[in-house]
């Protein structure tokens, strides 16, 4: 399978009023089409910065980033739905921004809402929905213009544990069914193992790749993968990588 994203020796230094901060140092990795990749690392190591680089919001100081397609969908920690817009209007937002008035795209949005159990709520306002539903709407909003690459920036961290597990399953299912490539940034080891095919472990700042782990687990959903035998093996491996780092 071909690479949809390739980081080649990327470094990033940014300036603040007090200091010059080296956030990323010689970072190289690639993501293949259809892969679900997690990026995990100590907090403050610049995980979110990597997503900003991929989304093109900032440019690297050194190195290159190759993307097969410019369309990326970005999902943030909170759903960030606009409270004054109905669900359907929230989902159409990216189309409005890109000034696309395409019947097909709108039908695709409607289709996704129907498929993932939100048909009844298209004219509701976000505050009438549960946390899990809101996160599903946020994902569909990201999928509307059919991005080839999804960037997930700790999208479950604002949810309570129970909702988190079920939204994890929902999001995983939607991403697999719609055949998307996804990059998940998280500091939750179990979440990374249960969702991804490949886990990139980062060192602390300035971050670079410390190790890459490919996971092979039984079970088709993140929830069942958590019960798989190998789960703890992977968990301990990643735990050690991250803990040694801190010393």
Partner 1 sequence: MKKTNYSAERQKYLLGKKKNKIFIISCRILILIAILSLWEILATLNVIDAFITSSPSKIITTAKKLFAENNLTYHMSITLYETFMGFMISAIFGYLIALLLWWSENLRNVLEPYIVVLNSLPKIALGPIIIVWFGAGIKSIIFMTIIIGIIVSIITMLNGFIATDNNKILLLKTMGASKFQILNKLVIPSSVKTFISMLKINVGLSWIGSIMGEYLVSKAGLGYLIVYGGQVFKLDLVMTATVILCFMATVMYLIVAFIEKKISKS
Q: Which residues of 32-49 are buried (b: 16+ CB within 10 A; e: fewer)?
A: eeebbbbbbbbeebbbbb
Nearest-5° Cα angle at 155, 153 to 157: 110
Least gap, CB of 152 to partner 1 (angstroms): 12
Cα end-to-end span (Å), the chain: 38
Q: Using N-to-C axis directions, what is the helix angle for 103-115 and 131-143, rounded to 10°? A: 150
Q: Any contact of residue 93 with partner 1 (CB under 8 A)? A: yes
Q: Which is nearer to partner 1, 96 or 107 (CB)?
A: 96
Residue from the set 57, 114, 220, 243 that interacts with partner 1 by CB under 8 A = 57
Within residues 139-158, the interface with partner 1 by CB under 8 A covers: 151
Q: Rank residues 158 and 213 by Cβ distance to partner 1 and give the closer one.
A: 158
> What is the size of the binding site for partner 1 (CB under 8 A)?
17
244 in contact with partner 1 (CB under 8 A) = no
Cβ neighbour number for residue 190 with a 10 Å cutoff: 17
Candidates 30, 68, 77, 124; binder of partner 1 (CB under 8 A) is 77
Residue tagged 């991250």 (tokens): 242
Residue 78 contacts partner 1 per CB under 8 A: yes
Contacting residue, 8, 55, 124, 235, with partner 1 by CB under 8 A: 55
Shortest distance, position 242 Cβ to partner 1, whole Å: 26
CA atoms of 88 and 26, how far apart (whole Å): 42
14 C-beta neighbours (distance < 10 Å), count: 14
Binding interface with partner 1 (CB under 8 A)? 55, 57, 72-74, 76-78, 80, 82, 84, 93-94, 96-98, 151
């Amino acid at each position: 399978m071909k690479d949809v994203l390739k980081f080649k020796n990327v470094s990033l230094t940014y300036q603040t009023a007090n200091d010059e901060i080296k956030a990323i140092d010689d970072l190289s990795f690639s993501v293949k089409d259809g892969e679900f990749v997690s990026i995990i690392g100590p907090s403050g190591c610049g995980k979110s910065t990597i997503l900003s680089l991929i989304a093109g919001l900032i440019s690297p100081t050194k190195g290159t980033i190759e993307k097969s397609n410019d369309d990326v969908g970005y999902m943030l920690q909170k759903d960030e739905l606009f409270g004054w817009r109905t669900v359907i209007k929230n989902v159409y937002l990216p189309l409005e921004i890109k000034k696309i008035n395409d019947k097909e795209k709108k039908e695709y949005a409607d289709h996704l809402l129907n498929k993932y159990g939100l048909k009844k709520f298209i004219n509701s306002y976000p505050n009438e929905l549960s946390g899990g539903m809101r996160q599903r709407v946020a994902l569909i909003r990201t999928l509307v213009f059919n991005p080839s690459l999804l960037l997930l920036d700790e999208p479950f961290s604002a949810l309570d544990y129970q909702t988190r597990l079920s939204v994890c399953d929902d999001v995983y299912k939607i991403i697999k069914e719609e055949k998307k490539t996804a990059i998940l940034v998280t500091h939750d080891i179990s979440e990374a193992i249960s969702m991804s095919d490949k886990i990139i472990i980062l060192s602390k700042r300035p971050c670079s790749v410390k190790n890459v782990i490919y996971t092979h687990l039984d079970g088709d959903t993140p929830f069942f993968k958590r019960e798989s035998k190998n789960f703890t093996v992977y968990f301990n491996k990643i735990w050690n990588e991250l803990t040694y780092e801190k010393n």
